[in-house]
Structure 1
Amino acid sequence: MATQQNSASRRSRRSPVVLPARAIRVGWLLAATATRVAVLWLATRPARHRARFAGKMIDLAVRQINRGGPTFIKMAQLLSTRVDLLPSALCAKLATLHDNVPAMRPKVARRLADKRLGGALDELCTEFDSDAVASGSIACVYRATLRDGSTVAIKVRRARVDRVLRADLALMRTVSRMMALLPAFRSLPVREMVDQLGGAIGAQLDFAREADALRALADNLRELPGVHVPAVRTDVVDPNHTEGILVMEFVPGLIRRSPADLPPAAGPALVSLCLDAVYQMLFQDGLVHNDLHPGNLYFMADGSIVIVDAGFVTRLSAGAKRSFAEFFYAMALGDGERCAEILIETGKRPDSFAVRSFRKEISELVRANSGARSKDFNLLQFSATLFDIQRRHQLYAEPEFVFPILSLLVLEGAIKEFAPDTDFQSKAVPYVLAALADAA
């Protein structure tokens, strides 16, 4: 087994040069942004131009976030899900940000993989394809052949990305604490929001944590025939002792398929299987994959699904799992009053909270959407309206209540594309009832 000393981990945390450098870079971006905001404000001072000013501000924010680098992009991607905290127009723009990062150069990738393995790459592999099969802002994935003839996927963290992310997160936390002192931000949980989202980003640097999550997902879903999570090859590399590299089973044929690529009956069957997996995560296991976009969820030609990349998962507490199950059950029954009660119980509300108004709006929303099939029920619109009501009433949900909704939102596109008639509210009921029975 290839290992590397934990000194690499300690070195990654010591970044005396990175933090000042990032502070200068971020400070320059903030100064440039402030200048452009001033120009925009002067150009749109008449009241009739205020809406235009807001739109220009959002566009400017997105451009500057792109220039800020991977930490800011990932933070913006996560913030785009918090429609309960931010205006929906801003969230929609933030959701368009992607990790458009080219793969590492082949020579750099091979050299870095060998370094992370303590110089043992050639001892482990007869072949290492240094052209990445997947690329992100934190890591790239490569195909390799081991000495025993098996094919594996090797995930290699980019050089110095851990230092940059940690420096950026430290700056964000400092700025958030300053913002929290300003009157304009006192009604928002700015510090908590940055801490929570920063934790989610920082966790993606931890390949040992991801390996644990992959193993747990595979174990939890093993009794669902047709659901496959690539095995972690700890017999090759132990991520607890090797910094910045993860070796997994290689799954061939991971391409994005459309309904036209599959038999007519395959789409509904695949969607049903996906929902079984997600509902089991939400209501039984409590370990939820929050990022099941088409790059992490694959529909296979043989009728199976493959789930990869467990860098962004949520572990639900017993209380959160029960509350989420109760909310779904009340939603299925059209009980808007109970849905409102659960939101109040699990959220952070101001002293001047308008209980009656909040209950009325939530009840009307639930009544309008209860029992709708997928083709008639727009989860994105429902969630946006739900979070808009919460934001206007300054009721802020805990992340462990919001992130599971994200897992369904990400999946909604596949549901509508492959099986628009799916009634995913009814399909959730057996899982919800089982969860409520377990919690009783």
Structure 2
Amino acid sequence: MNLRLLRIFWVITRFRLDTLIPLERLPAALRLLFRLSPLRLVPTGPHSPGKRLRLALEALGPVFVKFGQMLSTRRDLLPPEIADELRRLQDQVPPFPGEQARALIEAELECSIETSFAEFDTHPMASASIAQVHAARLHSGEAVVVKVIRPRIEEVMRKDIGLLYTFARLLRRIPEARRLRPVEVVADYESTLFDELDLRKEAANTSQLKRNFKHSPLLYVPAIHWPLTRQRVMVQERIYGTPVADMQALAEQNVDLRRLAERGVEIFFTQVFRDNFFHADMHPGNIFVNREHPEDPQYIAIDCGIVGSLTREDQDYLARNLLAFFNQDYYEVAALHIESGWVGEDTRANEFAAAIRTVCEPILERPLKEISFGQVLLGLFQTARRFNMEVQPQLVLLQKTLLNIEGLGRQLYPDLDLWTTARPYLERWMKERAGPRGLWESFKKQAPELSRQLPELPVLVHHALSRVEHDQHQRQRQADAIEDMQQQLKYSARRDRRLRLGILLLALAIAWQPLTQWATQQSWPVLVAAGLGMLLLISR
């Protein structure tokens, strides 16, 4: 770990990343540390700041490259020169040698390239942070692409994840950062990131997404060639689309960019709410546009290594929150947060609603180009700090996908009104979910289980009735026992009262006159009291 920290420090030094940090925004101690650091003695070199940042991320490895890929979609938060450089991280990471890729594929398939493919291009088509892709052709004549995992990538990733855990544990000691649940977020990121190392999982995700959008005009997903797919090698149908980030090519093809942007939003909400299975790595390097029918454009999605899903409760919660935002019902948003446990039960809903209104009111009914979700998230984090709201790790992938969707929408059609596009879909989904159709669909899903249990229903009813009868008898026996105990307590109480009264009368008689003088002096009141006292004692 110490060597990895030294490596990171060396990369920061080599590429002078300190020049990208606005020192005036840092705490005084950090400002002093940077000003006294030997970093400032290293020349920046001929490269631009954006290129230095890209080269540094590439040098640091796949975890940092993934971070740069996400940043590349946020052109509203970055200078254009830096955004353009980071965009090259999508599929222009330096490749490893083609002959090495060929050897890895042959080892994984346990046969020669010539046995598996009629043609194989050792020069990679694209190279990403975890794998690279080569063009090939099957013996059947079908054009395919072959994806192969980089050599020794797992070791580097484990070191980086370990470093992230170290940072997360340090953050957990800070009260304001504890609510972000950094360790849980890193754990969730670790599981999704390492899932990408098993290409069989990506192939299965791809097949599922393809079934979900079968014959759909919105999205096309290339087919998997399963006979040649292994853990570290995946063979997939080759597609010929236009990269969604190539705005010049889209314009030359007369693609309807507004319709394309609206369909991107529709695809996202369809995946999240209809299918509960969404592509969670939708950066521009994984999205293409079909070249046919530019007036009715269709997306093509690849690289399904990271997908997400929500529980039914998360779906309902998310939809109700978004609709409440659209309707500017901030009290409902606050109530939903309290109901879900994201904030404490002692939170006053009206105060929380007022804080949310202050953050979210400016973004409604405005075109996407005028909305900065980065500023909105910053404002919500400030609100969260005030009300001790915690980040939910299960929604981190969804939040990341929303950021990618926003960046894609800004790039395609800045005037897109996200709210106007999404609101009718959500309202229709909620209506279908809670209406007769939703109930019928729920019944159909549960029908197989009901049909299995139906023959056992008489036995189950008999057992239930027997159990009810047994419980009734048990409760009656308990009631009788309690009544007996109460009677015993009452009898004991009366007996104790008689005992105390007898002792009292006898004590008074003895104190009044000695017993030896009773008969001679014939003190009848004393004799009566003593007699009553003795009678009460005997009657116990």
Normalised by the size of structure 1, how large is the TM-score? Answer: 0.76
> Is it true that 1:288 corresponds to 2:282 in the alignment?
no
Q: Deviations over 1:51-91 (max 9, x none)?
A: 9729959x99x89876543234446877999xxxxxx99xx
Alignment of 1:422-437 (within 5 A): 422-437=416-431
What SS is found at the alignment partner of 2:402?
helix
Q: Deviations over 1:86-111 (max 9, x none)?
A: xx99xxx9996957631111211211
Q: Give the counterpart of 1:275 among 235, 260, 265.
A: 265
Question: Hey, what's the Cα distance between the residues in 2 that align with 1:29 and 1:354?
Answer: 48
> Is it true that 1:111 corresponds to 2:100 in the alignment?
no
Between structure 1 and structure 2, the one with the greater Rg is 2
Contact 2:195–2:305 (8 Å) recurs in 1: yes
Q: Deviations over 1:90-138 (max 9, x none)?
A: xxx9996957631111211211121121124211101111111121121
Aligned-pair distance for 1:427? Answer: 2.0
Q: 1:407 to 1:270 in 2, by over 3 A?
A: same
Cα RMSD after superposing both structures:
4.1
Alignment-derived partner of residue 330 in structure 1:
324
Q: 1:76 to 1:294 in 2, by over 3 A?
A: closer
**Aligned AA for 2:133?**
V
Alignment-derived partner of residue 25 in structure 1:
3
What SS is found at the alignment partner of 1:132?
coil
Alignment-derived partner of residue 160 in structure 1:
152
What SS is found at the alignment partner of 1:225?
coil
Question: Hey, what's the Cα distance between the residues in 2 that align with 1:337 and 1:310?
Answer: 38
Q: 1:211 to 1:439 in 2, by over 3 A?
A: same
Aligned-pair distance for 1:309? Answer: 0.9
Q: 1:34 to 1:346 in 2, by over 3 A?
A: farther
Contact 2:331–2:349 (8 Å) recurs in 1: no
Unaligned runs of 5+ in 1: 1-22, 82-87
Q: Deviations over 1:263-296 (max 9, x none)?
A: 5561112122222211101221111112222211
Alignment-derived partner of residue 247 in structure 2:
258
Q: Deviations over 1:343-397 (max 9, x none)?
A: 4444644698675543212123333222333344344433343344324543123
Question: Hey, what's the Cα distance between the residues in 2 that align with 1:309 and 1:430?
Answer: 30
The structure carrying a bigger helix percent of its residues is: 2
Alignment of 1:31-430 (within 5 A): 50=28, 53=31, 68-74=60-66, 98=89, 101-170=93-162, 172-173=164-165, 176-177=168-169, 180=172, 186-234=178-226, 236-238=227-229, 242-255=230-243, 256-258=245-247, 261-262=251-252, 266-302=256-292, 303-346=297-340, 348-349=342-343, 356-430=350-424
Question: Hey, what's the Cα distance between the residues in 2 that align with 1:230 and 1:292?
Answer: 15
Contact 2:363–2:371 (8 Å) recurs in 1: yes
Contact 1:284–1:431 (8 Å) recurs in 2: no
Contact 2:117–2:139 (8 Å) recurs in 1: yes
Q: 1:207 to 1:179 in 2, by over 3 A?
A: same
User: What is the percentage of aligned positions where both structures have the same residue?
Assistant: 25
Unaligned runs of 5+ in 2: 41-52, 435-540
Question: Hey, what's the Cα distance between the residues in 1 that align with 2:11 and 2:345?
Answer: 35
Question: Hey, what's the Cα distance between the residues in 2 that align with 1:118 and 1:48?
Answer: 55
**Aligned AA for 1:298?**
F
Q: 1:125 to 1:293 in 2, by over 3 A?
A: same
Count of matched residue positions in the alignment of Structure 1 and Structure 2: 397
What SS is found at the alignment partner of 2:415?
coil
